[in-house]
Amino acid sequence: MSTNITITAPKFATAEFRIIGTAPYVQLRFSEKVIRSLKEKMQLGSKAKKGTKREPRDFDEDYQQAFHVSTEGWYGIPASAFRCAMISACRIVGFQMTKAKLAVFIEADGIDAIDGTPLVKIEGEPQRAQHYVRNKTGVVDIRVRAMWREWSALIRVRFDTEMFGLQDISNLLMRVGMQVGIGEGRPDSKQSSGMGWGMFKIEDSE
């Protein structure tokens, strides 16, 4: 008895790119301290605001909490940042984002020591960056973040070869670096037009 096969097996390939920042990369992770505070408030319920004292803010701790640190101790960028950016870049060229979600993946170098987020290792020296921002409520706040003025990373993209060719992936990543960006203050930010941060180029590409 013969069987007709209509669904082909997936065909994937992995491409490796070294990217070099052309603008600072800025990071602000959802800190463990904030998560702990939210959990405590939820556990207290309606009693949370009664007699609660506001603790003095420790800006040095804010800076330390801004990083994604791997289980091996190095700083990293969430792998999802690159994947989401590549999917978003598909809008520029008219490719369906829903299909790209099933075709493009980023191979991680490790995981976050706190929450297991897959990370891509970032190369460069970070520094503390402090900016004044306005929250959604209109209240002015001080945001302490980690900034890499000079940075690079090795990106491994796993992709469906029946949907994308190697040149397609290269061009898509190039568009991410020139038009979408990654991290805080990127041009494709959902909250604003960005600060011009998180831009990059592919090494040896013009």
- Residue ranges of the alpha helices (H) in 5-78? 32-44, 59-65
pTM of this prediction?
0.84
Mean pLDDT by 10 residues, the chain (206 residues): 80 98 93 49 56 67 91 98 97 94 98 96 96 75 91 98 96 97 92 90 79
C-alpha–C-alpha distance, residues 41 and 33, integer Å: 12
Single out the residue of 184, 195, 169, 201 nearest to residue 89, CA to CA: 169
**Distance from the Cα of residue 191 to its chain's centroid:** 15
Beta-carbon contacts of 8 under 8 Å, excluding residues fewer than 6 positions away, are 162
Looking at residue 112, what DSSP letter applies? B
Q: Check residue 175 and give its pLDDT.
A: 98
Please give the pLDDT value at position 51. 57
pLDDT tens profile 27-54: 998 654 445 444 455 555 655 565 566 6
pLDDT at residue 1, rounded to an integer? 64
